[in-house]
Amino acid sequence: MSQATVLVDGNNFYASCEAALDPSVIGKPLVVLSNNDGCIVSRSAEARAMGIPMGTPWFQVRHDLERRGVIVRSSNYGLYADMSQRLMASLEAWVEELEVYSIDEAFGRLHRPPGDGDLTAWGKDLRRQVRRQLGLPVAVGIAPTKVLAKIANRIAKRDHSHGGVFDLGQVGDPGPWLEAIAIEDVWGIGRKLSRWCRLRGISQARALRDMPSGELRHRCGVVGVRLQQELRGHSCLPLVAVPPAKQETCVSRSFSEPVTSLEGLRQAIATYLSRAGEKLRRQGQRAGSVTVFVRSSPFNGTRFYANAATVSLPLPSNDTAVLLAAALPLAERLFRPHKPLQKAGVLLQDLQPVGLLQHHLLAPLPPEQQQRREALMATVDGLNRRYGSGTVQWAACGLRPRWTMRRSRLSRAATTRLSDVPVVRA
C-alpha cells in the first residue's frame, strides 16, 4: 500500500477568516491591510477578480476602492492565529502525520486506499468538513512527494474544474502538468536558481525534472538533486511533525507615527520585550543575550539612521523584569534627538531550554527566588491569556502610547474574546 503526501492550503486566508466571522461580507470584494494599515496583504476572490494587485500601498488606492465598494479590514493577527490553530487541530483527524508548515498550510501523510488508490473523494470530504466547521475554503493537493503536492495544490486552487482537490498521484503521466508550471513556481526554487535555469533553457518544472542530475548536483549540491528526485516522485523530504527549537526570537513593529522622544522609545522597547519574554516562556526557553535595534524612515527627508546594540545577560533568563533591566539602558545609546524613528525591535538570542539553566558563582540565584520569579511570570501570563493581552503589564510600557500600531478598520476578536461574540436574535 503506497503512501500519499497531502498539502492543505487556506484560500486567501486572512480575507477568508474575516468572512468566516462576518457573513455580511461573503461574496463581496474585501482586502486586508498590513501593519499600520500600510499595504494590501490579502484579497478575497471577488477582490482578485477586480484586478486589485497584492502589495499595493493603501493610500494610493484608497479613494478608488472606496468608490468601487471594496470592504477594507486591518490585520487581525489574533483572529488569524486562533483560526489557524483550529484548522490544524481539525486536520489532525484526517491524516496519519501532520506538519504545520505555515499559518495557513499543512502537509499530511496517509496511506492510499486499496484498489484504485484515488484520494479525490477523501479530499472533497475534507474540504466540506473544514468549510462546515470553520467556514474556511481550502485547496487540497495530493501527490507522492511534498514538492509534487505543492504543485497539485496549485493546480487545485487555480483550475476550478477540479473543485479544489487534485490528486497528481493518480494521473498516468504527470509530465504535461509539470510542463504548465513555470520554473519560478516550483517550491524550493529561489531567484538565483530560477535565473540559472532560465539561462540554460529550463523554463518549467518538467524540464527541471528531466535535466541531467550531474549538472544540477554541480550547481546546487544535494539540495538540488533532492528537489529533482521529488519531482520524479521519489520522496526525499520527510514530514517534520515537531518543529526544531528556535535559535532566536524577534519582536519588531513600525510605529504609527515617528517616535521623537527617549521616553517613547523606552516604552516601545519595553512593550516589545514584554511580548518577547512571553513568547520565550511559552517556548520553554531562556535567552542569553538581547539585541535592540532602531531605524528611521528612508522617505522622511532626513538622512537615514539605523543602529543596534547588544547586551549579554549574566545568567540566561526569560524573566521580563530581568530582560527589561538589561535592555532599557540601550535605548539611551541608540536614541538620537534629531532622528525621528520609524521602527524598533528586540531580538533575543543564545536561546536554551529552561531545563539547562546553569548557575555560576558570580551571579548566584537561590532556587527559592528562582521559583518565586517563575511563579510570578506564570501568573502574569495566565491573567493576560484569560482576560486579554495587556491586562497586566509593566509600567515601563506606558499608558496609551501614541506610537502603537494603527488599525482603524480592525474586526472583532470573536473567537478569543467573549464580549466580541456576535449576538444572534431569532
DSSP characters for 191-219? HHHHHHHHHTT--BHHHHHHS-HHHHHHH
> Rounded to whole angstroms, how far apart are CA atoms 268 and 260?
12
pLDDT 10s digits, 2-31 = 889 999 999 999 999 999 988 889 999 999
What integer pLDDT is reported at residue 121 of this predicted model?
Answer: 95
- What are 82's strand-pairing partners? none
What integer pLDDT is reported at residue 171 of this predicted model?
Answer: 87
pLDDT 10s digits, 282-331 = 999 999 999 999 999 887 777 899 999 999 998 889 999 999 999 999 99
Report in angstroms the alpha-carbon separations of 240 from 109, 160, 247.
Answer: 11, 30, 17
Would you give the distance in Å from CA 220 to the centre of its chain?
Answer: 27
- Looking at residue 124, its amino acid is K
> Rounded to whole angstroms, how far apart are CA atoms 382 and 213?
54
Pick from 44, 42, 23: nearest CA to 32: 42
Q: Are 262 and 275 in contact, with CB atoms under 8 Å apart?
A: no
For the chain, give the mean pLDDT: 90
Q: What angle do CA 278, 280, 285 make, to 5 degrees?
A: 150
**Residue 49, SS3 per DSSP:** helix
pLDDT 10s digits, 88-127 = 999 999 999 999 999 999 999 999 988 778 899 999 999 9
> Rounded to whole angstroms, how far apart are CA atoms 256 and 38?
10
**Three cell numbers written together for 405:** 500600531
- Residue 65: its H or E element: helix 58-67
Q: Which residues contact 240 (CB under 8 A, 6 or more apart)?
A: 99
**Three cell numbers written together for 3:** 503512501
Write the DSSP symbol of residue 53. P
pLDDT band at 173 (very low <50, low <70, confident <90, very high): confident
- What are 167's strand-pairing partners? 142
- Residue 128: its H or E element: helix 120-134
**Three cell numbers written together for 300:** 522622511
Q: Which residues contact 349 (CB under 8 A, 6 or more apart)?
A: 247, 248, 287, 288, 289, 290, 291, 310
Overall average pLDDT of the 128-149 stretch: 96
Write the DSSP symbol of residue 350. S
By CB atoms closer than 10 A (0-12, 13-18, 19+), residue 330 is buried
Q: Is the pLDDT confidence value at 334 over 80?
A: yes
Phi, then psi, of 8 in degrees rounded to 5 = -105, 125
Pick from 359, 360, 327, 348: nearest CA to 281: 348
**Residue 357, SS3 per DSSP:** coil
Write the DSSP symbol of residue 415. T
What integer pLDDT is reported at residue 2 of this predicted model?
Answer: 84
Q: Are 292 and 371 in contact, with CB atoms under 8 Å apart?
A: no
Q: Are 182 and 143 in contact, with CB atoms under 8 Å apart?
A: no
**Residue 190, SS3 per DSSP:** coil
Q: Is the pLDDT confidence value at 377 over 90?
A: yes
Report in angstroms the alpha-carbon separations of 414 from 20, 28, 33, 34, 83.
Answer: 10, 20, 19, 20, 11
